[in-house]
């Protein structure tokens, strides 16, 4: 069974103490928002996923909203609003 | 390659010259160079302030290049432009360092100016870069600015 690769960046990466992990997609988790809720439910420090202001997400390196579908093999990323330029 | 994400500095003059090298149809090259500003004070912790000593740029390798290329493609669809160059630096930078470069070549200045500004506005809100300021009091992630969203939003539906 293929896993979902999850990436975290910037202040969120620091808050979580990790930049990436790979997990089997839990049953009933079919969207980016559901995955965020699943991870945040682990408690501190993972609740940062629920409390980060204007949390952004990407699936397979495309910026998407919380309703975007995910499936095994996808690369999902969570990060704060971007501040380049 | 029209898009680069790199630690190394760049030569803005050479990049501008390259956009019209060997062709005689370019009538305008508009360019923008962004620099690391030595803000006098950054808010650290409970309202304390400290001078910005350096800045570290983090990015999302792979997605960053795709996002920049998508922005360039959208600009090419909106304006009749002949060449585009985008360079964004990552890693540790000092105040005064160049951080971002955008240049657009076209037949006339109007399209070059507009496309250059459009690319910068979209880069600020869509390309996955994050700035962290280093101060004597510690590090601080820069907050996104609402004015950047507004700047990008004014291009929605805008025609050339």
For B84-112, write each residue's pLDDT tens digit: 999 999 999 999 999 999 999 999 999 99
Per the prediction, chain A carries an average pLDDT of 96
Rounded to two decimals, the pTM is: 0.93
Contact A84 B100 (CB under 8 A): yes
DSSP collapsed to 3 states, chain A: CCCEEEEECHHHHHHHCCCEEEECCCCCCCEHHHHHHHHHCCCCCCCHHHHCCCCEEEECCEEECCCCECCCCCEEEEECCCCCC
Question: Mean pLDDT over residues B7-27, rounded?
Answer: 98
pLDDT at A46 over 70: yes
ipTM for the assembly? 0.95
C-beta separation of B36 from B119 below 8 A: no
CB contact under 8 A, A84 and B127: yes
- For the CA atoms of chain B, what is the radius of gyration? 17
Q: What is the mean pLDDT of residues B73-80?
A: 97
Average predicted confidence (pLDDT) for chain B: 92
CA distance B142 to chain A (A): 7
What percent of chain B is modeled with pLDDT above 90? 79
Name which residue leads in pLDDT, A59 or A52: A59
pLDDT reading at B43 higher than 80: no
Q: Are A76 and A6 in contact (CB under 8 A)?
A: yes
| Contacting residues of B for A10, CB less than 8 Å apart | 58, 130, 132, 141
Cβ contact, residue pair B57, A84, below 8 Å: yes
Choice between B56 and B38, residue whose per-residue pLDDT is larger: B56
Q: For A60-79, how does the pLDDT look when each residue is reduced to its tens digit (9 = 90+)?
A: 999 999 999 999 999 999 99
Those residues of chain A whose CB sits closer than 8 Å to some CB in chain B are 7, 9-11, 54, 58, 61-63, 77, 79-85
pLDDT at residue B42 tops 80: no
């Amino acid at each position: 069974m293929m896993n979902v690769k999850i990436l975290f960046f910037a202040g969120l990466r620091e808050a979580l103490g990790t930049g990436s992990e790979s997990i089997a997609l839990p049953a009933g988790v079919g969207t980016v928002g559901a995955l965020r809720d699943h991870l945040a439910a682990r408690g501190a420090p993972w609740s940062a996923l629920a409390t980060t202001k204007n949390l952004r997400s990407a699936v397979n390196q495309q910026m998407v909203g919380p309703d975007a579908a995910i499936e095994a093999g996808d690369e999902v990323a969570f990060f704060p609003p971007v501040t380049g330029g | 390659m029209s898009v680069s994400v790199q630690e190394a500095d760049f030569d803005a003059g050479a990049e501008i010259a390259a956009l019209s090298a060997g062709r005689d149809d370019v009538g305008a090259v508009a360019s923008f160079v962004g620099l690391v500003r030595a803000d006098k004070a950054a808010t650290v912790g409970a309202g304390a302030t400290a001078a910005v000593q350096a800045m570290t740029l983090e990015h999302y390798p792979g997605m960053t290049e795709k996002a920049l290329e998508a922005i360039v493609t959208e600009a090419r669809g909106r304006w009749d432009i002949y060449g585009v160059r985008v360079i964004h630096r990552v890693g540790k930078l000092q105040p005064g360092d160049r951080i971002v470069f955008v240049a657009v070549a076209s037949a006339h200045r109007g399209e070059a100016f507009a496309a250059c500004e459009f690319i910068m506005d979209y880069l600020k809100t869509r390309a996955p870069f994050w700035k962290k300021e280093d101060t004597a009091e510690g590090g601080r992630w820069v907050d996104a600015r609402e004015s950047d969203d507004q700047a990008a939003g004014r291009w929605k539906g805008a025609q050339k």
